[in-house]
């Protein structure tokens, strides 16, 4: 087992490297599926530790740190991708300490920090592996934000390496810097997009009696879809069904042949996924028929796993946090955003921690995917400490 006081002092001593790595990655963002240089950067850091990267597709990879003693295998995961969006040079209060040098991309979700924390954790584990039993699988994921994603390759790697559990962190703008949430149960939602088209019969706007107006049918369907969540998802659970776009016709006096509707759903259980999607289809098809229209589906939400924290791992993580970052543990509601980590926590027991980054004095706390997004870099130290203590306690 690791000595808690050594974890704390060692991570504090690594602060310069942790911050420098994060700022370098922030200045050189790469969007989903294109994190080639980011992956090379992380791979070089692993090679410096004497580790051998194993590729998961073309960009994602993992390394095994083996204690040489029998025991469990714990996977640690960080995502590497940035977003295809510009960055504002200021946060909520002042100029940022690091800015993207790519005008078409920026780290507005904290993944630069995720990579930096995992590099720090791997550095300590590799140097102190003789104090552990079992193995640690250090995993760097490509394409978390969008396709193409490497998670199917990582799922196969987890199976190949017979991983027993997995740990991940997300820096979180809704929590204050200096706090961490590791509670059990749903933490992030499953999500999916839908696009459907209502087919009618176009005609002149002056003679709606000679046409079948798909816009009216789509409008009625859209209104009725708003009942799906309250009538099918229990009040003590959560779900979202959002219609975000409707496109039908180009001119004020022409009734179009079709009207296309698109949006998305989010949920915290696969049972609710089924309820939501089944009822949506029933509404779409029945109301289309009632309006003498038909409906076709261009895209339908695939089953996506929500992030569910394992109760046993949550208990271990809670005790670990209380040891290494006393007073930092906080209770935080589930986050309705989505994460590919759910594909891993469905396969094996998982723990996904939220680490707060909001600091009014520094100006951090803008929402994720916002041009003013920024973080308190001290949060990276808290995350690294919690990771290391969890590794030690889980493998003990």
Show the tokens assigned to 245. Answer: 């776009």
What is the structure's pLDDT at 47? 98
Q: Any idea what DSSP says for residue 129?
A: G
pLDDT, one tens digit per residue, over 111-128 is 999 999 999 999 999 999
Give domain limits for the chain.
4-184+310-395, 189-299
Mean pLDDT of all residues in the chain?
97
The Cα angle at residue 342 between residues 44 and 169, in degrees rounded to 5: 50
Query: Do 4-184+310-395 and 189-299 have matching folds?
Result: no
pLDDT band at residue 12 under the 50/70/90 scheme: very high
Question: CA 40, CA 17: separation in Å to the nearest integer?
Answer: 17
Q: Once rounded to an integer, what is the mean pLDDT over residues 253-261? A: 98
- How far, in Å, CA of 341 to CA of 324, rounded? 24
Q: What are phi and psi of 109, to 5 degrees?
A: -135, 0
- Higher pLDDT: 386 or 146? It is 386
Mean pLDDT of 194-209: 97
Nearest to 186, CA basis, from 25, 341, 370, 18:
341
Q: In 10 A of CB 232, how many CB atoms?
A: 16
Residues 312, 317, 323, 328, Cα dihedral to 10°: -130
Average pLDDT over residues 74-84: 98
Q: Note whether 181 and 329 are within 8 A (CB).
A: yes
Return d(Cα 50, Cα 377) in angstroms, integer: 27
Condensed to tens digits (0 to 9), the pLDDT of residues 18-75 reads 999 999 999 999 999 999 999 999 999 999 999 999 999 999 999 999 999 999 999 9
- The pTM assigned to this predicted structure is 0.94
How big is the chain by its Cα radius of gyration, in Å?
24
CATH class for the region spanning 4-184+310-395: alpha beta
Pairing of the two strands 185-199 and 335-338: parallel
pLDDT tens string 311-331: 999 999 999 999 999 999 999
pLDDT in tens, 331-367: 999 999 999 999 999 999 999 999 999 999 999 999 9
The share of the chain scoring above pLDDT 70, in percent, equals: 100
- The closest of 166, 121, 89 to 21, measured between CA atoms, is 121
**DSSP assigned state of 134:** S
pLDDT score for 231: 97
In angstroms, rounded to a whole number, what is the distance separating the alpha carbons of residues 385 and 362?
A: 22
Which of 368, 340, 382, 305 shows the shortest CA–CA distance to 79?
Answer: 340
pLDDT for 148 beyond 90: no
189-299 belongs to CATH 3.40.190.10: no
C-alpha–C-alpha distance, residues 24 and 100, integer Å: 9
Contacts of 231 (CB under 8 A, 6+ apart): 279
* Model confidence pLDDT, tens digit, residues 272-284: 999 999 999 999 9
pLDDT at residue 279, as a whole number: 98
Pairing outcome for strands 73-79 and 165-176: parallel
Q: Who's near 257: CB < 8 A, 6+ residues apart?
A: 199, 200, 201, 202, 214
Q: Give the pairing type, strands 185-199 and 307-309.
A: antiparallel
- Among residues 137, 167, 142, 164, the alpha carbon closest in space to that of 153 is found at 142
CB-based contact 170:352 (threshold 8 Å): yes
Band of residue 146 on the pLDDT scale cut at 50, 70, 90: confident
The confidence band for 379, taking pLDDT boundaries of 50, 70 and 90, is: very high
Q: Calculate the dihedral angle through the C-alpha atoms of 373, 174, 338, 125, rounding to the nearest 10 degrees.
A: 80
CB 335 within 8 A of CB 187: yes
């Amino acid at each position: 087992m690791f000595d808690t006081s050594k974890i704390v002092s060692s991570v504090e001593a690594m602060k310069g490297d942790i911050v420098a790595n994060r700022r370098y990655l922030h200045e050189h963002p790469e969007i989903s599926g294109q994190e080639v240089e980011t992956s090379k950067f992380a791979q070089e850091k692993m090679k410096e530790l004497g580790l051998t990267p194993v590729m998961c597709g073309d960009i994602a990879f993992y390394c095994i740190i083996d204690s040489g003693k029998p025991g469990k295998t714990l996977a640690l995961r960080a995502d590497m991708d940035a977003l295809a969006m510009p960055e504002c040079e200021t946060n909520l209060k002042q100029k940022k300490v690091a800015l993207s040098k790519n005008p078409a991309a920026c780290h507005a979700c904290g993944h630069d920090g995720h990579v930096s924390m995992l590099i720090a954790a791997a550095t300590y584990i590799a140097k102190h592996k003789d104090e552990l039993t079992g193995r640690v699988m250090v995993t760097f994921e490509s394409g978390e934000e969008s396709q193409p994603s490497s998670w199917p390759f990582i799922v196969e790697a987890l199976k190949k390496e017979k991983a027993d559990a997995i740990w991940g962190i997300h820096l979180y703008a809704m929590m204050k810097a200096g706090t961490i949430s590791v509670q059990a149960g749903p933490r992030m939602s499953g999500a999916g997009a839908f696009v459907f088209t209502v087919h009618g019969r176009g005609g002149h706007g002056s003679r709606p009696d000679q046409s079948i107006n798909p816009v009216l049918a789509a409008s009625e369907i859209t209104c009725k879809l708003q009942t799906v969540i309250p009538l099918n998802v229990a009040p003590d659970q959560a779900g979202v069904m959002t219609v975000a776009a409707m496109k039908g016709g180009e001119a004020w006096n022409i009734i179009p042949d079709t009207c296309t509707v698109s949006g998305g759903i989010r949920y915290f259980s696969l049972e609710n996924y089924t309820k939501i999607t089944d009822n949506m289809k029933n509404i779409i098809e029945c109301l289309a028929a009632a309006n003498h229209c038909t409906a076709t589906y261009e895209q339908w939400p695939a089953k996506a796993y929500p992030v569910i924290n394992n109760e046993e791992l949550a208990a271990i993580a809670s005790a670990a946090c209380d040891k290494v970052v006393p007073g930092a543990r906080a209770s935080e509601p589930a986050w309705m955003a989505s994460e590919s980590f759910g594909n891993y926590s469905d396969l094996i027991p998982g723990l996904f921690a939220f680490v707060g980054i909001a600091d009014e004095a520094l100006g951090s706390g803008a929402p994720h995917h916002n041009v003013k997004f920024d973080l308190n870099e001290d949060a990276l130290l808290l995350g690294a400490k919690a990771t290391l203590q969890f590794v030690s306690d889980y493998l003990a």
